[in-house]
Structure 1
Amino acid sequence: MLTSTFGAPLAQKSARAKEITKCIAVFMAKDMRPFSVVENEGFRLLINTLEPKYHIPSRQYFSQTEIPALYKQTKEKVIQTLRQANSIAITTDGWTSRATESFITITAHVITDEWEMLSFVLQTRPLYEAHTGVHIAEILRSAVAEWELERAACGIGVVTDNARNMDVAVREAGLAPHVKCFAHTLNLASQAGLSVPRVHRLLGRVRRVVAFFHRSTTAAAVLTSNQKAMELPQHKLIFDVVTRWNSSLDMLERYLKHQSAVAATLLSPYVRRNAREIDTLDHADINDAEDIVKLLKPMKMATTVLSDEKTPTVSLIVPLKHMIESSMAPNEEDSATVSAMKRAILDNLSNRYTDVYDWLLECTALDPRFRTLPHLEEDLRQDVFRRLREKAVQLSNKTNVTMEEADEGDGGEGTSGPTPAAEQPVNLTGTAEEAEVEQPPPNKKTALEDLLGGTFTEPAVAESQVYCIESEMAKYKNGKPISLKSCPLEWWKENAKIMYPLLSPLAKAYLSIPATSVPSERVFSTAGDIVNVQRSQLLADNVDMLIFLKKNM
């Protein structure tokens, strides 16, 4: 009947059928639909209405054939984009699914030739074994090889949380520089401040009030009525999450904004009989709460700024850390609560990043917003630019060697494997002396090069290159900083080729590294939708492919 009405069914290999099948696979990946969606009555009705001659393949076909094919196609595009980048950074973080399975996700970050920041979720691997640094190091090494991340000219920067096993993992994998997630660092410092006994007790009292309003529909209704009467927004009170310090700040802010309505509600006879154990905050508590919000507000703003994935953030670590530490300096007007919080935060924060501080200063200097390094003494500022000058020379030399080797191989075409120069990339985290490596054997010369090259060309070219880098560096460091509202990548895009052709590759290598592991952490929410109750039995390979496609298509 269908055949006579609509014609013969579409052949599975016909162009039209292939197009529809691929679109269904894209729909599954982009909208995070389970493979079983193809068995849903409403979905089948929709497809049959749009194309009656199309036969929907089975869920197994999509999980075993179509999604893997789409993954392979997208992966090739991602690798091709990564190949074009001269420097790559990665972020990594672990998470646990609803089925209590542990995974680790790796995200790559590059700055393109057009000075655009791109991020790609590369892989999500299960952690079946203990979460040891050695095991994670093997996953990192495998990712570097599989995604062709190694570069001849410079190392691979890695951003992780502050866990000790990540220290071991990055060191064992031979990756550098290793940057601890600044958002995680701020979380640890803020949690230290919120753990001060008086603050801890205050948060507990507010939490009990909020919990009461969340479980009592009567109290919530009276609160809404009082908010309207007082011309306040009809907002619910916020309940904090212990692992997220900024949620405690949000809870306090919302409570303070609606404290008058909350107090009036708790005095209502309809509410009071069920809230006998709930006390509103007294005057001293309110003052402490206001002081806590004021003290932590800059740290919350810093966390928000760091979440931007389109502009460099690693260059912000030193300025933001300096600003926060300055705001934690003792003040005669501080209350006992504020003084205790400041000490706790400062004690937790002050010793962070000592191992990579010089490198972070170099990152900051290469951001045109902060190139004057105003918080440094002049001799320290000069040291920063001296190190950058030396590393720019090294990077230029390594790049030239790599290009020469690529030109000689395969008739001038580069190979996909690492060149000998890649074994010793520029040491961005060390000194020039530490980064010195044995030079590769000289290429075979022509007779004229053998006779005259050493006298008439090579030294002159080398000296000219060093002079040009010194000239660029002097011009850059003495230039006027751009506005904080300006985009540093846009500035480099406008000035790199003409003004700073030798310095700009170094800036690209430094600024491509994020300040936080937020890009990898954001996979958690995606993964929560993919590995949900319906699909908690997904194979690890399918979890990997679906997250990859969701983030990269």
Structure 2
Amino acid sequence: MEPARKRGRSEMWDHFNLIAHDKVQCLVCSTELKYHGNTSSMIRHFTAKHGAAVNQGNTNVDRKRELDGALVNMVVKDSQPFSIVDDCGFKELVALLDPKYTLPSRRALKEMVVKRYEEEKTKAKAVMQRVEAVSLTADMWTSINMDAYLAVTCHYVDDSAKLATVLLGVLPFPETHTAVNITAAMRSLMEEWGTEGKVTSIVTDAGANMVASVRSLNLRHALCFAHSLNLVVKKSLDATPGLQDLRTRARKVVAFFKTSTTAKEKLREVQEQMNRPVLKLIQEVDTRWNSTYLMLQRLFKERQSVGAALATLKTDVKPLSSEDYETADACLQLLSPFFQATVELSEEKRVSGSKIIPMTKMLMLYLYDTIGKTSHDTATLLGQNMVSNMQNKFDTTESQTALTLSTLLDPRFKTIGFYNQVQAAASVKRLTAFCTQLRKNAQPDTPTEEQPSTSAQPALANVDNPSSTGLNLWETLDRDASEARKARNATADATVEVQRYMTDPPLERSKDPLAYWVASIKGYVWIMSRGCACFRVPA
């Protein structure tokens, strides 16, 4: 904010910032001074407070900026409040680390964070201008203070073939959550970030307003797989009568230890006496099925400690019986892979769209195998409900173009990732047709070769030569023949290339599929982003 005209008159502008038309701030100690159009007060302050620093020129200023930058990084990365610069303990730590460094004020720190935000946003926008294809994820959520927000995140493959993510915005959403309002907000963000025409898919939950919004934007829609799994398991849990009763009594046990300090202390005491880790019980949350899993899992693990603690406490809360724990254990075996799948997808740092079909396959196979082995009635009923709900929710997954291409083009899965091999074969044909079309589009238009005429057919030679008659009798046929040759070559080349890829052994599941394509690509550049697979032909 310092005026350029002043910088040439006094070196004090190397040590002060103009933060208002009548106020300046010292870069060394963040002290604010009145500014009356001259540097007199600045010189007096700097000579009195930082006399030694004047002789060191820009060294202290550079050091100040370096430490300010580190402070901003800490606040941003660790989600620290601006008030940290007023905390006595933090001030003492900073003074011990560097006595010459004076922390900025809370206001100055806020300004630096805002400035850093604008700088990083500008850089991110510049990167987004160079990106050719992106996928988006959008979600409506409510804060602890019951304020609604719309978050939109962009995913793309960067120049180093790594999956990159940019948060386009978290918008306050006081309006009603209608499709019209959501569409307007998302369109505004897409225009601001220049993603129009680049979005290959958008991932949301199955809410009617979100679905209608994506339809209005005319974008390919992909339902969030983790959210769909949550609905499948939650619906299955609610449809299992014996399990509902168990969950109700388990919630009462957990609530007792959560709300009673005496009970909580007794549980800790019992755990220590049994030489067990001191672990708190976990309460179920209605909106997240994994909390049900964690509640039952922790209760089962701490069943001896919980039982012993309840036996010594005066309470009407009944401990779970041995039969209850047998039911919980049997049901946990069915729920375990779903919990693992949810965690894996949530932590995924690489492509995730290609995992949906093979993960669905493995979950179904696990359910069939486990149901066949269990003899517990409640667990059997839960398993049957989960199979039914999985079939209803994911019945069309292996026929969705984006997901099938993602799975086929992931060298870890290919066709073995499909549950239905008929659908896998159809997807290979679809991929071959897609590659064929790309090859056709990539081929330059080549002129039709002229056939040499012979002296034995002078009349026909004159007919073939448009220059002699003013027309070309064979123009349409020659064009069709050229297109047929190009189509045949494109189909053959695409078929050979796809088959060669399919017959190669699959990549280890721990490997990065994007790195594989960078190392082995031939003819096409392959980009796979979250929820979609797309190609571009090299120039």
Residue 380 of structure 1: aligned partner: 423
Structure 1 counterpart of 2:30: none
The answer as to whether partners of 1:312 and 1:514 remain within 8 angstroms in 2 is no
Specify the alignment match of 2:322 in structure 1: 283
**C-alpha deviation, 1:333, in angstroms:** 4.8
- 1:34 aligns to 2:56 (yes or no): no
Query: Which residue identity lines up with residue 246 of structure 1 in the other structure?
Result: N
1:125 alignment partner AA: L
Match of 1:246 among 276, 284, 290: 290
Shift of 1:353: 4.5
- Counterpart of 2:117 in structure 1: which amino acid? Y
Counterparts of 2:288 and 2:344, CA distance in 1: 17
TM-score for the superposition, normalised by structure 2: 0.72
Mapped to 1, the partners of 2:443 and 2:103 lie a distance apart of: 54
Contact in 2 for aligned 1:106/1:122 (Cα 8 Å): yes
Query: Which amino acid is 1:513 matched to?
Result: G
The answer (yes or no) to whether the contact 1:132–1:165 under 8 Å persists in 2 is yes
After TM superposition, list the pairs within 5 Å mapping 1:454-493 onto structure 2: 464-493=489-518
Aligned sequence identity (%) = 29
Matched residue, 1:139 = 185
Residue 304 (1) aligns with residue 304 (2): no
Q: Is the CA contact 1:96–1:102 (under 8 Å) kept in the aligned structure 2?
A: yes
**Which segment is superposed worse, 484-493 or 326-335?**
326-335
Alignment: residue pair count? 449
Aligned equivalent of 2:249, options 192, 198, 205:
205
Q: Cα deviations across residues 165-196 of structure 1 (Å, max 9, x unaligned)?
A: 110111111111x1111111111111112213
Q: Check 1:67–1:281 CA distance in 2 against 1; reply closer, same or farther (3 A cut).
A: closer
Matches for 1:45-194 after TM superposition, within 5 Å: 59-60=106-107, 63=110, 66-151=112-197, 155-176=199-220, 178-194=221-237
Q: How far 1:332 sits from its partner (Å)?
A: 8.1
User: Could you tell me which amino acid in structure 2 is paired with residue 305 of structure 1?
Assistant: E
Partner-residue secondary structure (3-state), 2:414:
coil
Q: Distance in 2 between matches of 1:16 and 1:244?
A: 48
Q: Give the whole-Å Cα distance in 2 for the aligned partners of 1:45 and 1:287.
A: 55
Sort the Cα spacing of 1:264 and 1:30 in 2 relative to 1 into closer, same or farther, 3 A. closer
Alignment RMSD (CA, Å): 3.7
Q: Distance in 2 between matches of 1:82 and 1:484?
A: 30
- Alignment CA distance shift 1:376-1:95 (3 Å): closer
Cα distance in 2 between the residues matched to 1:232 and 1:52: 46
**Does structure 2 retain, via aligned residues, the 8 Å contact 1:82–1:149?**
yes
Q: Measure, in 2, the Cα distance between the counterparts of 1:230 and 1:55.
A: 52
Number of the residue aligned with 1:513: 531
The aligned counterpart of 2:381 is: 340
Could you tell me how far apart the structure 2 residues matched to 1:266 and 1:18 are? 59
Partner of 1:501: 523
How far residue 158 of structure 1 moved from its aligned partner, in angstroms, is 0.9
Does structure 1 residue 261 correspond to structure 2 residue 261? no
Cα 1:53–1:332, aligned 2, differ >3 Å: closer, same or farther? closer
C-alpha contact 2:353 2:532 (8 A) present in aligned 1: yes
Shift of 1:36: 4.5
The verdict on how the C-alpha distance between 1:374 and 1:122 changes in structure 2, with shifts beyond 3 A counting, is closer
Q: 2-side partners of 1:204 and 1:121: how far apart?
A: 39
Letter in 1 for 2:166: F
The alpha carbon displacement at 1:113 in A equals 3.8
What secondary structure, in the 3-state scheme, does the structure 1 residue paired with 2:392 have? coil
Partner of 1:431: none
Deviation string for 1:264-297 (max 9, x for gaps)?
Answer: 23223xx2xx22x121222321221111111101
Matched, 1:234 2:275: no
Aligned pairs (5 A) from 1:531-542: none
Structure 2 residue corresponding to 1:320, chosen from 352, 359, 364: 359
Query: Per the alignment, do residues 146 and 454 of structure 1 end up closer, same or farther by CA in structure 2, a change over 3 Å counting?
Result: farther
Of structures 1 and 2, the larger Rg is shown by: 2
Scaled by the length of structure 1, the TM-score of the pair is 0.71
> Which structure carries more relative contact order (alpha carbon 8 Å, separation 6+)?
1
Which amino acid is 1:260 matched to?
Answer: Q
Work out which of the residue numbers 255, 258, 265 in structure 2 matches 1:214: 258
How far, CA to CA, are the matches of 1:396 and 1:41 in structure 2? 67
In structure 1, what is the Cα distance between the partners aligned to 2:311 and 2:532? Answer: 50
Shift of 1:83: 3.7
| Change in 2 beyond 3 A, CA 1:2/1:332 | closer
Deviation for aligned residue 1:314: 1.4
Partner SS state of residue 416, structure 2: coil
Residue identity matched to 1:210: V
Shift of 1:42: 6.2
Residues 332 and 17 from structure 1, CA distance in 2 versus in 1: closer, same or farther, beyond 3 angstroms?
A: closer
Q: Which amino acid aligns with 2:77?
A: K
For 1:114 and 1:362, how far apart are their aligned partners in 2? 22
State the 1:372 CA deviation: 2.5
Q: Distance in 1 between matches of 2:68 and 2:373?
A: 70
TM-aligned CA deviation for residue 325 of structure 1: 3.1
Larger mean CA deviation between 160-169 and 283-292 belongs to 283-292
Aligned 8 A contact 1:369 1:488 in 2: yes
Report what 1:529 is aligned to: none
